[in-house]
Structure 1
Amino acid sequence: MENKYSALTHYEFLRLCIHSETLGLEREFTWGRVFRRYLRNRHIRFQIKWRFAHYFYAKGGKFNVKFANWLNDRITERYNVEIGLSAMIGPGFRIGHHNGIVIASIARIGSNFMISQNTTIGIKDKGDGFIVIGDNVKIGANSCIISDNMKIGNNVIVGAQTFLNKDLADDVICFTKREYTIIARSDVPENAASGDALR
């Protein structure tokens, strides 16, 4: 699947992503600045490591792919974030909290994407499709996006605890509607101390 970054070399795409995610595009890029930022800010270490794993995987070749898989396995174990190396994520990628995040290899994600903890972007059944997500999309915590072929537009917000398996147009907010029941404790039967009467 072609994307708007296809014209860039693997190195140019790596540099663009690391520039935007560690320094910000308004600041001059040097690898020295990136390294200092890497040492000082633990929150961006996963992105830098995954970007390098993706870079080596995309370059191809037996050694590069083997190293990329090894590195991705290590960071998956350490950060509890699993992103397939075949996934494509544009620059400006951000993670709210590094815990319980899964992004399948069929994901094709635009720029300035933000995902929160305990969220899955995954495959329903193995097929030939893609999960395409546009630019400036935010996914709330504890959400689940499952499909073999779907598209989420630009400038979309998916609220926390949302289950999504259908396409979304540009410029929308999507959330799963929930209802809460609140009752006075005085209205609870006396035999409900164990909670059985409320089930």
Structure 2
Amino acid sequence: MKISYLFGLLFAFSDKGAALREFWRIEVTRKTHFSWHQLWTHSRNRRRNFLLWWRLASEMYAHGNKQQRKMAKRINDALKDRFTTDIGLGARIGAGLHIPHHTGVVISDKARIGKNLVIRQNTTIGVVSSMGPDEYITLGDNVDIGANSCIIGAITIGDNVTLGAMSFVNRDIPANCTYITRKTSDAIIKPAH
């Protein structure tokens, strides 16, 4: 992992690292100005530590050279093992990503997501086999996804949408609404005698 630190530092200090430092300011330090000291201090928090490393891997994968892209994949593989969260390096997620509980979060590299996404445990944003190479899953700004939800296919979810827990979404959802999948049960509950 020492090599990862070296590649990460070189990338973060480079001109290509400006966007990375802004992601870190918003998601890790949560301060008005970026500070390396604040980054170090706040990176000890488990949730913020994930964001620090995933943003580094994502930016190195998107903007780095061949060696940096290779290192980004290694970092992402380590994050999958440690946090049980699988976010594809090709995914584009705006600033303000918040994952309260990491377990079981899966986001396809075909995702194009706006800023301030809140995504909870055991949630998938994934593809279907019928999607073409130029089709994406698009989520707007300020989307809040409840636990145990599944969003699949080349769909668009607008800005300011809240998805209830255990929602299944395979169609477009307009902006400024709440979406809840109605659950029906055929189970019969009989009172105890």
With normalisation by structure 1, the TM-score equals 0.83
Name the CA distance, whole Å, in 2 between partners of 1:102 and 1:29: 29
Deviation string, structure 1 residues 136-183 (Cα, Å, up to 9, x no partner): 000110000010x21100000011001100001110100111246543
Matches within 5 A, 1:163-182: 163-179=168-184, 182=189
Identity across aligned pairs (percent)?
A: 41
Match of 1:80 among 81, 84, 87: 84
Once the two structures are superposed, what CA deviation does each residue of 1:77-129 show, in whole Å capped at 9, x if it has no partner?
11000001010000100002010010000100011100000000000114220
Instruction: Tell me the residue number matched to 1:190.
Output: none
Indicate the residue corresponding to 2:3 in structure 1. Answer: none
Counterpart mapping for 1:94-113 below 5 A: 94-113=98-117
Aligned partners of 1:160, 1:119: CA distance in 2, in Å?
9
User: Are 2:50 and 1:46 aligned?
Assistant: yes
Does the residue aligned with 1:77 lie in a helix, a strand or coil? helix
Contact 1:10 1:58 in 2 (8 A): no
Kept after mapping to 2: 8 A contact 1:102/1:121:
yes
Q: Which runs of 4+ in 1 moved over 3 A?
A: 179-183
Partner Cα separation in structure 2 for residue 111 and residue 10 of structure 1: 20
User: Do residues 143 (structure 1) and 149 (structure 2) align?
Assistant: yes
Q: 1:91 aligns with which of 86, 89, 95?
A: 95
* Contact 1:88–1:108 (Cα < 8 Å) also in 2: yes
Report what 2:59 is aligned to: 55
User: In structure 1, what is the Cα distance between the partners aligned to 2:142 and 2:29?
Assistant: 18
What's 2:18 paired with?
12
Q: 2-side partners of 1:86 and 1:98: how far apart? A: 19
Asked if 1 retains the 8 angstrom alpha-carbon contact of 2:88 and 2:109, the reply is yes
Q: Deviations over 1:21-63 (max 9, x none)?
A: 12225x3320111111112x12211111000001110123210
**TM-score with structure 2 setting the length:** 0.86
Report the CA distance shift for 1:152/1:10 in structure 2 as closer, same or farther (over 3 A): farther
Q: Could you tell me how far 1:12 is from its partner in structure 2? A: 2.4
Q: Give 2:127's aligned amino acid.
A: I
